[in-house]
Amino acid sequence: MTSTLNQRLVLPVHNERHLVKDVSESVEEAIRKNPQLRVVVVDDGSEDGTGDAFRRQLKPLKNAEVKILPKNGGKGMAIRQGFHGAKEERLMFMDGDLAYSIDHLTPLAESLNDYDVVIGSRSMAPQAHGGLPARRAFLGWGFNRLACYLLGIDYPDTQAGLKGFQREAAERLFAKQRLTDFAFDVELLYLCRKLGLRVGQIPAQVSGRHTYKTSRVKLLCDSLRCFKELLLIRWWSWTGAYRLRE
C-alpha cells in the first residue's frame, strides 16, 4: 500500500554541479510517478553554481523548488531550511548526490505509517559496492560506538543520509535541534529518545555510482569536532538548553 499522504523530499547539495543533470532526471521521474511528492533542493553557499543549475533544470516541474542560501551553514542547517514551513504530512531527506536512489522513498514513506521517525541503515543492506573507504569506515564505526554510548541510543548506522519524519515529530525535533553539521543526525536520534518518539529503520543501499568524498571529511579534525559536538549534546541536555519538558 503506497502512502497517500503528501510528502516533501529535501535534497541538500553543496558543490555538486557535475551531478545536476542526473539528479534532476531522477527528481523528474520521482515526481511523475508520485503526484503527492514535492521536492526541495537546498544549496547553501556552493561556489560552482550548483543552485542556479538546478533551478534551470527543474524549472518546468511545478512540484520542485530550489532554495539557494547565500552562506554555507552545513548540511543540517540546509535540511532544516528545506523543512521550514512545510505543510506535508511526511517530511523526508536524502543526500542530494543520490548516494541512495530515490526508490528508497517508497519504503521510507510506508514505514512512517508505523513510526514517528524512520532512518536508513546501511548495515541492513548488503553493500554491493564495497561501501566506505577503510579509514572512514573505521572512524565511522568508532564514532557510532562513542555516540551510542554517550547518548544512550543504539543504532548500527546513525549517519546514512536517508531519514524521514511524520510532520508533527519533525516540528518537535527541529524546534529543539541545535547542531548543523556532522553530529546533527545523532542529535536528532538523542532527541527522539528524550521525546519518546518511535524510531524505525529501513535498509539503505548505497548506489554504485556514488563516491564518498573522503577529501571533504578531513578525517582527524572532523572526528575531533564530532567528539566535541557529542559532548555539547550532553551539556545542552544537562543544562536544560533543549527545554525537553516544553
Ligand X SMILES: Nc1nc2c(ncn2[C@@H]2O[C@H](COP(=O)(O)OP(=O)(O)O)[C@@H](O)[C@H]2O)c(=O)[nH]1
- By beta-carbon proximity to ligand X, the closer residue of 68 and 124 is 68
- C-alpha distance from residue 34 to each of 20, 31, 64, 103, 220 (Å): 21, 5, 12, 11, 42
Q: Which of Mg ion, ligand X, none is residue 147 near (CB under 5 to 8 Å by kind)?
A: none
- By beta-carbon proximity to ligand X, the closer residue of 40 and 109 is 40
- Cβ 121 to ligand X, closest distance in Å? 15
Binders of Mg ion: how many residues, by CB under 5 A? Answer: 2
- Cβ 210 to Mg ion, closest distance in Å? 6
Is residue 44 within the footprint of ligand X (CB under 6 A)?
A: yes
- The residue within the footprint of ligand X, chosen from 212, 222, 225, 232 (CB under 6 A), is 212
Tracing cell 541492513 back to the chain, one arrives at 124
Helix (H, G, I), strand (E, B) or coil at 10: strand
Is residue 96 within the footprint of ligand X (CB under 6 A)?
A: yes
Residues 9-38 that bind ligand X (CB under 6 A): 12-14, 16
Is residue 84 within the footprint of ligand X (CB under 6 A)?
A: no
User: Segment near ligand X (CB under 6 A), from 2-10, 91-99, 146-154, 237-245?
Assistant: 91-99
Residues 215-244 that bind ligand X (CB under 6 A): 216
- By beta-carbon proximity to Mg ion, the closer residue of 210 and 225 is 210
Look up residue 244 and give its three cell numbers: 525537553
- By beta-carbon proximity to ligand X, the closer residue of 216 and 245 is 216
CB contact at 8 A, 4 and 113: no
Residues 81-120 that bind Mg ion (CB under 5 A): 97, 99
Spatial separation of the C-alpha atoms in residues 177 and 243, rounded to whole Å? 11
Spatial separation of the C-alpha atoms in residues 146 and 193, rounded to whole Å? 16
SS (H, E, C) 30-95: HHHHCCCEEEEEEEECCCCCHHHHHHHHHCCCCCEEEEEECCCCCHHHHHHHHHCCCCCCEEEEEC
CB contact at 8 A, 166 and 89: yes
- The residue within the footprint of ligand X, chosen from 75, 90, 163, 172 (CB under 6 A), is 75
- The residue within the footprint of ligand X, chosen from 140, 161, 164, 200 (CB under 6 A), is 161
DSSP character string of 126-140? --TT--S-HHHHHHH
CB contact at 8 A, 41 and 20: no
What is the binding site for ligand X (CB under 6 A)? 12-14, 16, 42-44, 72, 74-75, 78, 95-97, 99, 161, 212-213, 216
What is the binding site for Mg ion (CB under 5 A)? 97, 99
